[in-house]
Amino acid sequence: MYRLPLDALRFEVKNSILYKIDPRAKLTVSTIYALYTALTNNIYIHLILLGYLFIHLTVLGKIFRKTLRNIVILLPLVIIVFLANYIVTFSITSSLIPAIKLVNIVLSLNIFFLTTSPDDFSMTLEKLGFPITITLALSLSIRYIYVLSKTLQEIIDAQLSRGHKLDTGSLVQRIKNYIPIVVPLLIISVRKSILVAETLESRGFNEKIKRTPMITLTFTYIDSTYLLSSILSLILIHWITNYMVTFLA
Amino acid sequence: MIVIDNLWFGYHQKKPVLKGINLCIGEGELTFILGDNGSGKTTLLKHLNGLLKPNEGTVEVDGLDTRTTPVSELARKISIVFQQPEKMFYSPTVEEEVINTLSNFNLRISRREIINLLKEYGLEQYLDGSPYNLSGGEQRILTIAIMNSWNPKYLVLDEPTVGLDGIYREKLRILIGNRLEKGYTTIVATHDIEFALLFNAKLVVIHDGRIVYEGHTYDLINNKVVDKYGLILPTYSKALHMMYKKGILTDVRDYCGVFSEISVEVYRRCIDSH
């Protein structure tokens, strides 16, 4: 049975704090956490940060399942990173650091990407000064991941129904078996993009005219509180862990 | 024979789409599955060739359990035509599209046979053209032609009349009629009550994942099942229904054949069946 994880690709709004926070605050927190994780090489900090990010996403975002699913999807890559490092260094601790670092960077970015709708994402970029053509293209691309995955599932169903076999023959033959899936998907994608362009033009879209947004992003005291408390939490984690490590040593 | 026994299925465990479907479709039967949008018609059809596996219950096609039989094996017996025909095409020409489909079942077809097949549906001029250059209706009828080309024992059509003009509807009617005469089974899931009324067929109405009515297509004219489950009768049938309610007409056979060409057909078939 060839079933794509369509639900994982669909953006769902949940009634949680993270979904209501201004995307600019979330983007700042995500970037700071990801950069900090990338630059730190302390195993204890990484382990505490892993737990902290998990709790952050679960309690503030109510996205336990999505977070867990992302980690499970990432697991093969994490294992490869760990093994590759182990072969070179022969040290479990030194090999664990890049592996957990990878998970932590993904979890940090999840704070923004899993809880921000394509519309909010586009508005955030517009506020940051990106041209409308780029922000629109990006938000449309994110939106179309789900739409095209659904199309892909329907193509697979149609091809299987006409007796097409996907997992038979040699490796080359198996790759060839996917031609009837890829060709319709490409044609439908191109046709869909032309249709979207025509729809936008017929609705009066013009990049040269400055648009007036119906919904504007407002930075409230809740967003500031979230931003400050998140940065403070990171400083605390850094300070306490370093203190504990020095104290224990 | 297709036997569906207590079929439960949901894309999410907590939200079942099909809730305990029990259905038996005999050989040589024509069955219409009617239901409102989101009632579970397409999901039910996808269980027939094993594209979806039941969460609970079983689906058996000629004794083969769809949970354990590969889709490729079932596909030869049971041919499903989905709503969007363009998702099936990948070959540069219509001719190759027919050849590629039949080669999946180790069947061969000559160019002359392909021309004859396309002639039946009025598509012979597109033999060397790309299937993507055809109109929506033509693509749909081509898909049906291809999927019926090896005379599968069971043909399943999902919303076959969408986008078809009068000529292609008539060709589709003839195709279904021919299959009935040859003793092949056809299952049609549709909203098109007017099309269903053309046939002397079994009727299954699905609402909210459950079978709420089983009977005959002619039951649609005078049965309350239509208004209750979001199905809308053709205008002429509504007029007949009102006359029936007011006592002007007393028998379903009296008011068939009064208004349109379609109702004449319904009337003729109604007489045949009684």
- Tell me, what's the pLDDT at B9? 92
How far apart CA B157 and CA B162 sit, in angstroms, is: 11
* Residue B196 CA from chain centroid, whole number: 9
- Tell me, what's the pLDDT at B33? 94
How far apart CA B254 and CA B244 sit, in angstroms, is: 9
For A179, nearest residue in chain B (alpha carbons): B90
Q: What digits encode the pLDDT tens for the residues A6-31? A: 666 677 778 888 888 999 999 999 99
Q: What digits encode the pLDDT tens for the residues A89-136? A: 888 888 999 999 999 999 999 999 888 888 888 888 888 888 888 888
How far apart CA A112 and CA A23 sit, in angstroms, is: 7
pTM of the shown model = 0.79
Q: Are the beta carbons of B194 and B262 closer than 8 angstroms?
A: yes
Question: CB–CB of A7 and B12 under 8 A?
Answer: yes
How far apart CA B52 and CA B9 sit, in angstroms, is: 9
- Tell me, what's the pLDDT at B272? 52
Q: Which of residues 45-74 of B touch A (CB under 8 A)?
A: 46, 49-53, 71-72
Amino acid at B160: P
**Residue A235: pLDDT over 90:** yes
- Tell me, what's the pLDDT at B225? 65
Q: What digits encode the pLDDT tens for the residues A201-214? A: 898 887 777 777 77
**Residue A232: pLDDT over 70:** yes
Choose, out of B66, B84, B90, the residue to mutate when testing the contact with A (most A CBs < 10 Å): B90
Over chain A, what is the mean pLDDT? Answer: 88
A157 touches chain B (CB under 8 A): yes
How far apart CA B127 and CA B119 sit, in angstroms, is: 10
Please classify residue B253 by burial: count the beta carbons closer than 10 Å to its beta carbon, then call 0-12 exposed, 13-18 middle and 19+ buried.
Answer: middle
b/e sequence B240-250, b meaning 16+ C-beta within 10 Å: bbeebeeeebe
Amino acid at A209: I
For A191, nearest residue in chain B (alpha carbons): B132
How far apart CA A166 and CA B9 sit, in angstroms, is: 25
In terms of DSSP H, where are the helices of chain B? 41-48, 71-77, 94-103, 111-120, 136-147, 166-182, 193-196, 219-222, 225-228, 235-245, 252-255, 261-273
Choose, out of A146, A151, A162, A187, the residue to mutate when testing the contact with B (most B CBs < 10 Å): A162
Question: CB–CB of A160 and B51 under 8 A?
Answer: yes
Amino acid at A10: R
pLDDT tens for the 274 residues of chain B, in order: 899 999 999 987 778 999 999 999 988 899 999 988 888 999 999 999 899 999 999 999 998 999 999 888 899 899 999 988 888 898 999 999 999 999 888 888 899 999 999 998 888 899 999 999 898 889 999 999 999 998 899 999 999 998 888 888 888 888 888 888 889 999 999 988 888 888 888 889 999 899 988 888 877 766 656 667 777 777 766 666 676 667 766 655 555 444 444 555 555 554 454 4
Q: Give the one of B50, B132, B147 whose C-beta lies nearest to A162's C-beta.
A: B147
Cα separations (Å) of A125 from A10, A198, B244?
A: 21, 24, 64
- Tell me, what's the pLDDT at B258? 43
> A66 falls in which pLDDT band (50, 70, 90)?
confident
> A169 falls in which pLDDT band (50, 70, 90)?
confident
Instruction: Check residues B249 and A217 and name the one with the higher pLDDT.
Output: A217
Instruction: Check residues A58 and B221 and name the one with the higher pLDDT.
Output: A58
Cα separations (Å) of A39 from A33, A46, A99, A236, B78?
A: 10, 11, 14, 17, 59
How far apart CA A225 and CA B250 sit, in angstroms, is: 75
- Tell me, what's the pLDDT at A1? 60
A149 touches chain B (CB under 8 A): no
Question: Going edge to edge, which strands form the sheet with B64-65?
Answer: B18-25, B2-9, B56-61, B64-65
Question: CB–CB of A163 and B147 under 8 A?
Answer: no
The ipTM (two decimal places) reads 0.82
B165, two tokens:
């003009």
Helix (H, G, I), strand (E, B) or coil at B75: helix
How far apart CA B49 and CA B61 sit, in angstroms, is: 8
How far apart CA B50 and CA B80 sit, in angstroms, is: 11
CA distance A95 to chain B (A): 38
Sign of CA dihedral B42, B48, B52, B56: positive
Choose, out of B14, B51, B99, the residue to mutate when testing the contact with A (most A CBs < 10 Å): B51
CA–CA–CA angle B216, B268, B163 (5° rounding):
70
Q: Which of residues 72-111 of B touch A (CB under 8 A)?
A: 72, 75-76, 79-80, 82, 84, 86-90, 100-101, 104-105
CA–CA–CA angle B90, B162, B179 (5° rounding):
80
